[in-house]
Amino acid sequence: MTPLRIALVAHPRHPIAEPFKGGMEAHSFHLAKGLIARGHDVTLFAAGDSDARFTIDPVLDVHYDRDFPWENARPDPRLYPVLDRAFASACPRIFSNAFDVVHNNSLHRFVMQGAKKSGLPCVTSLHVPPFEAIHGVVRDSLSPTHRATVTSQRQTLCWWPEGTPDTAEIVHNGIDLALWPWSGKRGNHALWCGRITPNKGPHHAIRAARQCGIGLRLFGVKEDDTYFDREIAPLLDEKIIYGGVLDGAGLAEQMREAALLLFTPCWDEPFGLVAVEAMASGLPVAAFDQGATREIIGEEAGRFAPPDDPVALAAAILEALKIDRIIPRRRVEEYFSLSRMVDRYEALYEKVITCHTRTHAAA
């Protein structure tokens, strides 16, 4: 593909830098790396304290969670005008003649409205279920020059229960397989990774591990200190260990040493990137059957329990331990590689650029 000038717009809640606070940050980081590796010229519109290896055009000087932290998914109301001012300032730079295509990974309505108003080539990747502030904007702004992607069939049904429009399609998130090397050695403990927050369900993972007598190591940022102090800290002991926040290499090492991953979403999980990273490392998964979990993990690489049921999850753990570690790795190689993801996005860039060119020529 001919090298493109790409504006990649990230969500500025956290820096686009390791250690990643969540899947959206990891997606923007690795997408930028993957596009640059293919010769594209990428400008990252993100928090100014993102990784300095990228060419950064700051949407905000510093990620907003530092000054306006979310608590249990309820943001500080002072945040909204801050974000509106930031994106109102950034959009003229994003939708300028400096770029061949815009890839929008943010959740802000101004970017999608800018795509509609300008008619410039744009792809918006939706990483979350629909919510009120952008649901209508997404539906209203899509066009042949502004296409949307979602990460799973489940997410498609959430956004368009009446049927998926021609301007939207599924592009699975992908990982750099070299960063998550496979190990055939099975440890004797389980792993849980993610943001320490109620909707990720680490308290269920702990109870399930205790139920079946397996050790558990938990890793991730404490997003909700009150929840951690009340629900997690009292359950920690010599077998149930919280190990803090790790960078990608440290987490990959932990994954290679574990027996399986516990994946416990308590919300309509649209994808589950940590499950893919764990499977690449050779971990089968015991998971709540919530959102897109079964779709991503697959029947052969994991075992499932009803949501919010740690007793059933304990039974799933015992069954998942019987899965050969090569099975989850092969699933990731087939469906969730970074190369496959970038291929899909490049094809979409060609579509929106071609549509824009034809529209411009006709005018």
Is residue 72 scored above 70 in pLDDT? no
Q: Which domains does the chain have, with CATH numbers?
A: 5-174+337-362 (3.40.50.2000), 177-335 (3.40.50.2000)
What distance in Å separates the CA atoms of residue 304 and residue 348, rounded to the nearest whole number? 34
User: Is 342 within 8 Å of 174 (Cβ atoms)?
Assistant: yes
| pLDDT for position 14 | 93
Q: Is 159 helix (H, G, I), strand (E, B) or coil?
A: helix
Confidence bin at 362 (pLDDT 50/70/90): low
Chain segment 146-171, per-residue pLDDT in tens: 999 999 999 999 999 999 999 999 99
Cα→Cα distances 329→40, 119, 214, 242, 343, Å: 29, 41, 23, 26, 20
| pLDDT for position 149 | 97
Single pTM value for the model: 0.92
Chain segment 245-299, per-residue pLDDT in tens: 999 999 999 999 999 999 999 999 999 999 999 999 999 999 999 999 999 999 9
Strands lying side by side in the sheet with 285-288: 240-242, 215-219, 189-193, 260-263, 285-288, 302-305
| pLDDT for position 69 | 79
- What average pLDDT does the structure give for the chain? 94
E strand map for 65-203: 101-104, 122-125, 146-150, 168-170, 189-193
What distance in Å separates the CA atoms of residue 236 and residue 220, rounded to the nearest whole number? 15
* Position 18, amino acid: E
| pLDDT for position 1 | 82
Strands lying side by side in the sheet with 146-150: 55-60, 41-47, 5-9, 101-104, 122-125, 146-150, 168-170
Tokens of 63: 């990620």
Q: Is 362 helix (H, G, I), strand (E, B) or coil?
A: helix
| pLDDT for position 223 | 86
- Quote the DSSP letter at residue 14: S
* Position 294, amino acid: R
| pLDDT for position 363 | 58
Q: What percentage of the chain carries pLDDT values higher than 70?
A: 97
Residues β-bridged to residue 332: none
User: Is 296 within 8 Å of 289 (Cβ atoms)?
Assistant: no
Would you mind telling me the total number of residues written for the chain in this entry? 363
What distance in Å separates the CA atoms of residue 326 and residue 324, rounded to the nearest whole number? 6
Neighbouring C-alpha atoms within 13 Å toward the C-beta of 352: 30
| pLDDT for position 44 | 98
